[in-house]
Structure 1
Amino acid sequence: MIKKVGELVEKGLQLQAVATSKSTENLAKELNIPLVDIDEVDKIDLAIDGVDGVDEIDSEFNAIKGGGGALFREKIVATLAKEVIWIMDESKLVDNIGQFPLPVEILPYGYTHVIKELQSYSYNPVLRIKDNKTFITDNGNYIVDLHIGKPMDIERVYKQVTSITGVLEVGLFLNTCNRIIVGYENRVRVVENN
């Protein structure tokens, strides 16, 4: 999708973009997409998250995001955006979110204490590992994946997890999105969040 935006910019489209990850930022720079820092904007007109951005979403537009590790930045952008659109394939649509691991971004300092507290809620926390090392977000933090594995009481989970000192953000995006675009094998469906 970023490559398509780059093509449109090359053809004369005028825009400024905010990247939600360093890899997105690097690709945008390669494609000459004009970027601004998140701290230079008061509002964002449109936030679009591409094909791999949503891990699970229910019919109430409650979603789990952050499987790629950029959940904190994605949430900041989403809260500043006038309109949020997520693009996904049909496999992301679920009756109840909670089967996909719920990512939680935490500070490295005292992370074992955060994990113990998450264990006390029976959320089965697992520190994310990549290439045999602790996964580090673009913000320099850790991700703990909660393996709840069943339909969850979204409000309770959100309240419990965010009340823990050391938790920066949780990958629950509750009624954040205005519209989803869902790709099926032979069609595309646009669903509005009413």
Structure 2
Amino acid sequence: MSAATPMTQDELKALVGRAALEHIGHGHIIGIGTGSTVNHFIEALAQQRERIVGAVSSSEATTQRLRAHGIRVFDANEVEELAVYVDGADEIDPRGFMIKGGGAALTREKIVAAQARRFVCIVDQSKWVQTLGRFPLPVEVIPMATQRIIRQFAALGGTARVRLRDGAPLVTDNGQHILDVTGLAITDPPAFESMVNDWPGVVTVGVFAHQRAHVCLMGTPEGVRTISFDGPGR
């Protein structure tokens, strides 16, 4: 017999998107992130949309997708607390710390994550790393501070570049720009996040340490691996 055909990255994303439904209770308002893995979760949720009251969205793209499926979208200010937040990550480490922002929605993602009692991170196994920093770190910045922030990252050994779209700086849903920073090894994510957040002109740094994951659903060729980060130290 021939060996089974390995699952593609997209199939692994669909696998964890469906698995995330098991972490969604009935009658709640939930938070939903942004990105290709989350899109698979939304497709699965659309088949059972009656189980939730609605969602708070982390981006205009996700809002449009949810509404297209008939899922009610609430403004974050209408909701005091969310039962769970489901989102992907560009990197996640063994402590549940993440890099996020490849889809340029990091600021709203962090806002929604802060409203949720639990953060369920859904990824394929390529996102698992021992030390954050291999993926370019997204940082949302106010444009007038761009060059100074680039110099501050250079002093740390990082190379920051403005993210472009069609030859011009990408503009986020919040009207700001994104820097992508390479050359960093982030060994103390909470301290790094706090430091960069204090730099004038930084809107949000894409290190999610203070809003780290409670659980990671990781798609592997053997199926969905569930990694819990609950317990002391959270």
TM-score (norm 1): 0.90
Cα distance change of structure 1 residues 59 and 161 upon mapping to structure 2, 3 Å threshold: same
- 1:61 equivalenced with 2:88 (yes/no): no
- 1:34 equivalenced with 2:72 (yes/no): yes
After superposition, the CA RMSD in angstroms is 1.6
Per-residue CA distance 1:69-115 (angstroms, 9 max, x = gap): 11111111111101110111111111111111111111123322322
* Structure 1 Cα separation of the partners of residues 204 and 185 of structure 2: 21
| Conserved? CA contact 1:118–1:161, under 8 Å | no
Give the aligned length. 189
* Structure 2 Cα separation of the partners of residues 81 and 128 of structure 1: 29
| Runs of at least 5 residues in structure 2 that lack an aligned partner in the other structure | 1-40
| Conserved? CA contact 1:100–1:149, under 8 Å | no
- 1:20 equivalenced with 2:58 (yes/no): yes
Note the C-alpha offset of 1:155: 4.3
| Conserved? CA contact 1:108–1:142, under 8 Å | yes
| Conserved? CA contact 1:99–1:151, under 8 Å | no
| Conserved? CA contact 1:43–1:80, under 8 Å | yes
Structure 1 runs (4+) greater than 3 angstroms displaced: 149-153
Per-residue CA distance 1:12-34 (angstroms, 9 max, x = gap): 33421011011100111111101
Partner of 2:43: 3
Partner of 1:143: 178
TM-score (norm 2): 0.76
Please identify which structure carries the higher helix content: 2
Partner of 2:7: none
- 1:101 equivalenced with 2:136 (yes/no): yes
**2:117 aligns to what SS in structure 1?**
strand
Note the C-alpha offset of 1:151: 5.0
Percent identity over paired residues: 32
